[in-house]
């Protein structure tokens, strides 16, 4: 796929580097620790070291210093990763003040903190106005429109990211408007960006899947999958995720042969790990038995079953229950509704007996 460079990238997944002038002395040492934490992948350590850099810049640098702005953004990102959304919003609000002081009111540099703040607000389920994430998105779009125009890659990519935030974090119907506008650009004037064309269809399909509009979801997910299949440079993980969504779509529509076809396609492309608990291709929650729910009983059930060559759980046997026997019955029903990627031998899908799964029943879930 043809991928062109872009000015804006998703700040939620990157670290903002401090300027070279900051790489000496105590600030440099703290930032070096932060970079080591990033390499470790530990969310807790990343947040701890990001806070250390942020605290130092806040105490020792003026408000219009760009290193202070970068440190606030990094710390806000780390807090989002820990799902500490209230704290993230406070830090990102401060980051916006510093960014405006450092770069100006309408600089493109403000786009990253605005979009990050949008995600924190949208994900903050305890916030009474989480759908107000759109005001941060709209401010970012205004900046992109003024600097690049509505037909620019930057503007369309922001629309796509806004739609993704709306689906994944806010459960917001307004996400559809963002996604449709991004789709129009990436299937129109910017159609040469095939990765983005794939994502445009993929996210629209995901939106309709979440809304249980399965026919519409099928249209866009199938379109995205066809685009991935036609490319020798496709992102395999995205392709497999699109197939997994289609498994759920076809299963919900009662089109079992199409569902099985996608299960097998995923299984053929994915190594089967016999040492790992089976992972279903899409998430569904087991039904909490009413008798256990009424008295607040928690526990689990452990089941053994065969993953058939079609990706279906068969020969289900409940090996153990704790808390209530009803968890066993609920687990059996749950497994019957799931779909898995089957194991392949010599290019052929085969049954895999003896698979085990523990299903937990917690009131907190």
CA distance 276 to 232: 30
List 314's β-bridge partners, or say none. 306
Domain segments of the chain as ranges = 1-188, 193-270, 290-361
Structural fold of domain 193-270: 1.25.40
Higher pLDDT, 315 or 233: 315
CA distance 173 to 167: 8
pLDDT by residue (tens digit) across 40-95?
999 999 999 999 999 999 999 998 999 999 999 999 999 999 999 999 999 999 99
Fold matches, 1-188 and 290-361:
no
List 345's β-bridge partners, or say none. 348
Predicted local confidence at residue 238, as pLDDT = 82
Worst-scoring range by mean pLDDT, 101-115, 120-134, 141-155? Answer: 120-134
Predicted local confidence at residue 109, as pLDDT = 94
CA distance 322 to 299: 5
- Residues 263, 341 contacting (CB under 8 angstroms): yes
For residue 97, pLDDT beyond 80: yes
Residue 2 — very low, low, confident or very high, per pLDDT cuts 50/70/90? very low
Predicted local confidence at residue 152, as pLDDT = 94
Give the CA distances from residue 149 to residues 71, 214, 246, in Å, rounded to whole numbers and listed in that order: 30, 34, 35
Q: What does the pLDDT average to over 271-294?
A: 93
CATH: 3.30.1150.10, 1.10.3710.10, 3.40.47.10, 3.90.320.10. Which one for 290-361? 3.30.1150.10
Predicted local confidence at residue 7, as pLDDT = 35
Give the pTM: 0.83
1-188 belongs to CATH 1.25.40.10: yes
């Amino acid at each position: 796929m043809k991928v062109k460079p872009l000015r804006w990238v998703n700040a939620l997944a990157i670290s903002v580097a401090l300027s070279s002038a900051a790489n000496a002395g105590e600030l440099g040492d703290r930032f070096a620790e932060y970079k080591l934490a990033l390499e470790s992948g530990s969310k807790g350590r990343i947040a701890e070291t990001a806070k250390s850099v942020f605290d130092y810049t806040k105490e020792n640098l003026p408000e219009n210093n760009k290193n202070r702005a970068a440190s606030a953004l990094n710390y806000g990102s780390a807090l989002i990763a820990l799902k500490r959304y209230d704290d993230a919003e406070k830090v990102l609000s401060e980051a916006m003040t510093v960014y405006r002081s450092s770069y100006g009111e309408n600089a493109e540099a403000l786009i990253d903190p605005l979009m990050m703040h949008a995600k924190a607000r949208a994900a903050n389920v305890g916030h009474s106005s989480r759908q107000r994430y759109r005001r941060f998105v709209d401010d970012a779009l205004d900046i992109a429109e003024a600097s690049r125009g509505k037909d620019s890659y930057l503007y369309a990519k922001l629309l796509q990211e806004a739609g993704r935030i709306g689906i994944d974090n806010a459960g917001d119907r307004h996400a559809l408007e963002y996604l449709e506008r991004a789709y129009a650009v990436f299937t129109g004037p910017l159609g040469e960006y095939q990765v983005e064309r794939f994502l445009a269809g993929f996210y629209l399909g995901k939106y309709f899947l979440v809304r249980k509009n399965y026919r519409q979801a099928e249209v866009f997910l199938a379109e995205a999958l066809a685009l991935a299949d036609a490319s020798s440079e496709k992102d395999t993980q995205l392709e497999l995720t699109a197939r997994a969504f289609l498994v759920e779509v076809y299963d919900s529509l009662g089109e079992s042969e199409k569902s099985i076809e996608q299960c097998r396609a995923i299984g053929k492309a994915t190594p089967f790990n016999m040492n790992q608990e089976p992972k279903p291709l899409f998430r569904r929650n087991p039904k909490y038995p009413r008798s256990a729910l009424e008295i607040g009983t928690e526990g689990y059930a452990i089941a053994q079953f065969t993953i058939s060559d079609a990706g279906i759980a068969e020969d289900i046997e409940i090996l153990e229950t704790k808390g209530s026997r009803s968890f066993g019955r609920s687990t059996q029903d749950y497994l019957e509704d799931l779909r898995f990627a089957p194991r392949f031998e010599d290019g052929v899908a085969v049954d895999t007996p003896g698979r085990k799964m523990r299903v937990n029943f917690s009131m907190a879930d």
